[in-house]
Amino acid sequence: MKSSIQKKIVLSLLFIFPLVVYLFFASGVNNFAKLPVLTVGVQSLASFTSIENKNIQLEDHITILCYWGNDLSLKQAEAFNLNEKIYKRFAEFEDFQFVVLVEQGIEDQVAALKNALQEGTGIDLSKWNFLTSQSSTIQNHFASLKTPLTLDTKGASPYVFIIDKEGKLRGRNDDEDQGTLYGFDARSVAEINKKMIDDVKVILAEYRLALKIYNTDRKK
């Protein structure tokens, strides 16, 4: 009996310890904590159409959500920042995805941007998902985030958002610069490096730790 208990303890440690180490090395204020939920009930993507003809959902995915309006020529720098600093680092995770909401009629711009992102790198961009709809639908979806931010005259925002597997907006409620940090400024490589990378690591580790605990409990 004692031997069986000891075996279960050892197995649990073997599952959990790597996740603890992962969190430890994810530098930043959110170490060993869940990324705070800022908004519950972000709208689904049911009213949007995938340019790639895929069934894209927020549910069961960790999503980097972008609102890029109707002129992607203004978003190239942001796209390159995110591709280099976030996408390349985390695309290997099966449940990770980018979702970019754009207005209908700019499919050629989307193709050109994806070609530019891939040029010279050969990186698989299959988790860059572009979805289209009318500007009013995009406005309504943005409003469901319930942030003090707004879309510009092009229907776009420089801020990108972390949405969890339950459709909740995650961010920071104790940010040293803004107090509540709803989204990350993709124009700023410094903000991506200092804050966004850390927060994506934290939420990925959070779900993997929960999965390890669940699988361990099932084996008891």
Cβ atoms 66, 149 nearer than 8 A: no
Q: Is residue 18 part of a domain?
A: no
- 41 inside domain: yes
pTM of the shown model: 0.82
In whole angstroms, give the CA distance from residue 161 to residue 199.
Answer: 11
Virtual CA dihedral for 40, 43, 44, 49, nearest 10 degrees?
-150
135-184: pLDDT as tens digits: 999 999 999 999 999 999 999 999 999 999 999 999 999 999 999 999 99
pLDDT in tens, 181-219: 999 999 999 999 999 999 999 999 998 875 555 455 444
**144 occurs within a structural domain:** yes
Q: Give the CATH number, domain containing residue 55.
A: 3.40.30.10
Residue 17 lies in a domain: no
Count of the separate structural domains present in the chain: 1
Residue 219 domain flag: no
What domain range is 54 assigned to? Answer: 29-199
With respect to residue 90, please indicate whether it lies within any of the assigned structural domains: yes
185, part of any domain? yes
Query: Is residue 154 a part of any domain in this protein?
Result: yes
Please state, in angstroms and rounded to a whole number, the distance separating the CA atoms of residues 47 and 64: 18
Q: Rounded to 5 degrees, what are φ and ψ at 70?
A: -125, 10
